């Protein structure tokens, strides 16, 4: 279902400009953005961000997700309690699997409205019965973010075909900073570790990526993931956002007059929590243990 929708979103804009290369180059970003926005607007309504994301890497097929943040109690300019829901179509050992992330969070804006602090708790569940919980904290300003999440397995071993799967405990920490004079581009540094259950060593690694707000509705994130189990892998994400973000984008303010742009963070209280939404599992088959679920 999701793959069909995304094919339609991408195919229509490119077909509309077939045979006219100049118009295609000028209009493709706007057409893709409009298609994604219309799909999201017609699917989910209400205050808060909604995102549709496509993720692809060197060694696996594309994965899809749709995420929604909705207000429970919102006091503009002060604080917000919110619900975040995400449906994921991911790959485990090359096979499609659906999972759901459900979380509740609280964010408190600073008196100057230039930053906020927040905390959140989540429950993650996939269609094979793998379940975990997490707790996270975050500090966000207009040009800098810091966050940490701890993940704890809830379910035990799950028999899936010839494999026994076990959810791994873990932690991830991220630092995000704006590239000077480019208010639409961030550098994201992420480190993570997943505690082995039966495997001989923990799975740990680092990700570095550049997140680019190309238009108010379209974000691209490209980077590099280096893991001691899986090795290295390049990845790319395309994210459609609704409603449009009010932050600077590449097509509105490519270069700023100052190194860092300060914005009122009131409008960011109902944006997504950054975390690892895919449940990481060990897969065991007749004594052979794979540390990751990809």
Taking the C-alpha atoms of residue 65 and residue 46, their distance in angstroms, rounded to an integer, is 19
Q: What is the pLDDT of residue 62?
A: 85
Q: What is the pLDDT of residue 19?
A: 47
Q: How many domains does the chain have?
A: 2
Do 158 and 271 belong together in one domain?
A: yes
* CATH number of 112's domain: 2.40.160.160
Q: What is the pLDDT of residue 96?
A: 87
Segment 132-141, tens digit of pLDDT: 999 999 999 9
Kindly state the tokens that stand for 16.
């509309």
Do 229 and 265 belong together in one domain?
A: yes
In the chain, the N- to C-terminal Cα span, in Å, equals 21
Segment 239-249, tens digit of pLDDT: 999 889 888 89
Do 147 and 19 belong together in one domain?
A: no
Residue 23 has pLDDT above 90, yes or no: no
Taking the C-alpha atoms of residue 124 and residue 103, their distance in angstroms, rounded to an integer, is 9
pTM of the prediction?
A: 0.81
Do 56 and 26 belong together in one domain?
A: no
Contacts of 112 (CB under 8 A, 6+ apart): none
Do 20 and 32 belong together in one domain?
A: yes
DSSP 163: E
| Domain range for 261 | 44-290
Q: What is the pLDDT of residue 25?
A: 42
Q: Indicate if the alpha-carbon torsion angle 284, 288, 289, 290 is positive or negative.
A: negative
Do 79 and 116 belong together in one domain?
A: yes
**Element spanning 221, H or E:** strand 218-227
Q: What is the pLDDT of residue 239?
A: 95
Q: What is the pLDDT of residue 154?
A: 96
Most confident of 8-22, 238-252, 276-290: 238-252
Do 120 and 242 belong together in one domain?
A: yes
Do 104 and 232 belong together in one domain?
A: yes
Alpha-helical segments (H) within 51-99: none
Q: What is the pLDDT of residue 124?
A: 97
Do 14 and 109 belong together in one domain?
A: no
Residue 254 has pLDDT above 90, yes or no: yes
Segment 39-97, tens digit of pLDDT: 445 545 567 889 999 998 776 678 999 999 999 999 999 999 999 999 999 888 878 89
Answer with the residue of higher pLDDT: 6 or 92: 92
Average pLDDT value for the chain:
84
Residue 26 has pLDDT above 50, yes or no: no
Do 187 and 215 belong together in one domain?
A: yes
Do 205 and 273 belong together in one domain?
A: yes
Answer with the residue of higher pLDDT: 32 or 219: 219
Q: What is the pLDDT of residue 38?
A: 55
Do 2 and 141 belong together in one domain?
A: no
Taking the C-alpha atoms of residue 244 and residue 280, their distance in angstroms, rounded to an integer, is 32
Contact 292, 230 (CB under 8 A): yes
Q: What are phi and psi of 69, to 5 degrees?
A: -110, 130
Q: What is the pLDDT of residue 290?
A: 54
Answer with the residue of higher pLDDT: 117 or 31: 117
DSSP string, 12-42: HHHHHTTT-HHHHHHHHHHHHHHHHHHHHHH
Q: What is the pLDDT of residue 287?
A: 53
Contacts of 176 (CB under 8 A, 6+ apart): 144, 145, 146, 186, 187, 188, 189, 211, 274
């Amino acid at each position: 279902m999701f793959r069909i929708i995304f094919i339609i979103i991408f195919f229509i804009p490119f077909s509309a400009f077939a045979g006219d290369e100049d118009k295609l180059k000028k209009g493709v970003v706007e057409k893709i953005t409009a298609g994604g926005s219309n799909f999201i607007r017609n699917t989910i309504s209400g205050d808060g961000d909604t995102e549709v994301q496509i993720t692809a890497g060197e060694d696996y097929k594309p994965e899809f997700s749709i995420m929604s943040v909705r207000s429970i109690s919102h006091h503009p300019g002060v604080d917000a309690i919110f619900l975040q829901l995400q449906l994921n179509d991911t790959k485990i050992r090359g096979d499609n699997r659906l999972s759901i992330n459900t979380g509740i969070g609280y964010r408190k804006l600073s008196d100057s409205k230039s930053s906020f602090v927040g905390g959140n708790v989540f429950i993650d569940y996939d269609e094979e019965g793998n379940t975990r919980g997490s707790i996270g904290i975050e500090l966000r300003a207009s040009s800098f973010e810091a966050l940490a999440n701890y993940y704890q397995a809830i379910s035990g071993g799950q028999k899936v075909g010839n494999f026994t799967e076990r959810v791994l405990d873990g932690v991830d920490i991220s630092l995000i900073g704006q590239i000077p004079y480019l208010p639409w581009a961030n550098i994201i540094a992420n480190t993570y570790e997943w505690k082995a259950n039966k495997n001989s060593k923990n799975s740990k690694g680092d990700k570095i990526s550049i997140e680019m707000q190309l238009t108010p509705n379209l974000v691209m994130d490209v980077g590099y993931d280096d893991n001691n189990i899986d090795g290295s892998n390049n990845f790319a994400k395309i994210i459609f956002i609704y409603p449009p973000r009010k932050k600077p984008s590449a097509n509105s303010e490519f270069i700023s007059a100052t190194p860092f742009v300060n914005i009122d963070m009131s409008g960011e209280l109902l944006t997504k929590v950054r975390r690892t939404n895919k449940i990481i599992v060990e897969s065991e088959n007749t004594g052979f243990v794979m540390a990751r679920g990809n």
